[in-house]
Amino acid sequence: MPSRRNIVSFVLRYAVYAAMGVTALSLIGILGYILIHGILAFKPSLILGEYSSSNPAIGFSVFTTCVMIVLTLLIAAPLSIFCAVYLTEYAKRKNKIVTWIRLATETLAGIPSIVFGLFGAIFFGTVMRLGYSIMTGCLTVAIMLLPVIIRQTEEAIKSVPDMFREGSYGLGASKLRTVFRIVLPSAMPGILSAVILSMGRIIGETAALIFTLGTVAKFPTSLLDSSRSLAVHMYISTRDGGAAGREVAFFTGAVLIAVILLMNIGASYLGGKVGKDFEN
Amino acid sequence: MKIKVEEMNLYYDTFQALINVNLDVSENEITAFIGPSGCGKSTLLKSLNRMNDLVESCRITGKILFDGEDIYGKKMNVNVLRKRMGMVFQKPNPFPMSVYDNIAYGPRTHGIKKKRDLDQIVEESLKNAAIWEELKDRLKKSALAISGGQQQRLCIARALAVKPEVILLDEPTSALDPISTTKIEDLLVELKDKYTIVIVTHNMGQAARISDKTAFFLHGEIVEFGKTIELFSRPKDKKTEDYITGRFG
Ligand SMILES: Nc1ncnc2c1ncn2[C@@H]1O[C@H](COP(=O)(O)OP(=O)(O)OP(=O)(O)O)[C@@H](O)[C@H]1O
Ligand SMILES: [Mg+2]
The full DSSP string for B168-194 is EEESTTTTS-HHHHHHHHHHHHHHTTT
ipTM confidence: 0.92
Contact call for A172 and B81, based on CB within 8 A: yes
For residue A96, the one-letter residue type is: K
Q: pLDDT tens digits, residue range A97-151? A: 888 888 888 888 889 999 999 999 999 999 999 999 999 999 999 999 999 999 9
Confidence at A40, pLDDT banded by 50, 70, 90:
confident
Work out the average pLDDT over B90-110. Answer: 95
Highest mean pLDDT among A19-33, A99-113, A247-261: A19-33
CATH number of A44-279: 1.10.3720.10
Q: pLDDT tens digits, residue range B22-63? A: 999 999 999 999 999 999 999 999 999 999 999 989 999 999
Predicted confidence (pLDDT) at residue A171 exceeds the cutoff of 70: yes
Confidence at A49, pLDDT banded by 50, 70, 90:
confident
Work out the average pLDDT over A254-258. Answer: 89
Hey, is B207 helix, strand or coil?
helix
Distance separating alpha carbons of residues A260 and A202, to the nearest angstrom: 11
Please report the pLDDT score of residue A50 as a whole number.
Answer: 81
Decide whether any atom of ligand 1 lies within 6 Å of the B145 Cβ: no
Confidence at B196, pLDDT banded by 50, 70, 90:
very high
Angle of the A242-279 helix axis to the A59-85 helix axis, nearest 10: 40
> What CA–CA distances, in Å, run from B188 to B28, B88, B178?
11, 12, 15
Work out the average pLDDT over A30-46. Answer: 87
Q: What backbone phi and psi angles, to 5 degrees, belong to B172?
A: -70, -15
Going edge to edge, which strands form the sheet with B69-70? B15-25, B3-12, B58-66, B69-70
Q: Looking at the complex, does the CB of residue B113 fall below 8 Å from at least one CB of chain A?
A: no
Confidence at B248, pLDDT banded by 50, 70, 90:
low
| B183 Cβ neighbours under 8 A, 6+ residues apart | B130, B149, B153
In A, which residues are within 8 Å of B91 by CB distance? 163
Predicted confidence (pLDDT) at residue A241 exceeds the cutoff of 90: no
Q: pLDDT tens digits, residue range B130-154? A: 899 999 999 999 999 999 989 999 9
Work out the average pLDDT over A178-191. Answer: 93
Contact call for B141 and A169, based on CB within 8 A: no
Length of chain B: 249
The percent of residues in chain B predicted with pLDDT above 70, rounded, is 99
Fold of B3-244: Rossmann fold (3.40.50)
| Exposed e or buried b per residue across B164-182, where buried means at least 16 C-beta atoms within 10 angstroms of its C-beta | bbbbbbbbbbebbeeebbe
Compare A53 and B15 and report the one with higher pLDDT. Answer: B15
Task: State the average pLDDT for chain A.
Answer: 89
Q: Domain coordinates of chain B in residue numbers?
A: 3-244
Work out the average pLDDT over B173-201. Answer: 92
| B79 Cβ neighbours under 8 A, 6+ residues apart | A172, A173, A174
| A22 Cβ neighbours under 8 A, 6+ residues apart | none
* Disruptive mutation site among B13, B47, B87 for chain A (greatest number of A CBs within 10 Å): B87
Work out the average pLDDT over B172-181. Answer: 88
Q: pLDDT tens digits, residue range A65-75? A: 999 999 999 99
Confidence at A279, pLDDT banded by 50, 70, 90:
very low
Predicted confidence (pLDDT) at residue A181 exceeds the cutoff of 50: yes
Q: Domain coordinates of chain A in residue numbers?
A: 44-279
Predicted confidence (pLDDT) at residue A276 exceeds the cutoff of 80: no
Cα(A254) to centroid(ligand 1), Å: 60
Predicted confidence (pLDDT) at residue B247 exceeds the cutoff of 80: no
Confidence at A21, pLDDT banded by 50, 70, 90:
very high
Q: Looking at the complex, does the CB of residue B142 fall below 8 Å from at least one CB of chain A?
A: yes
Compare B84 and A270 and report the one with higher pLDDT. Answer: B84
Please report the pLDDT score of residue A280 as a whole number.
Answer: 38
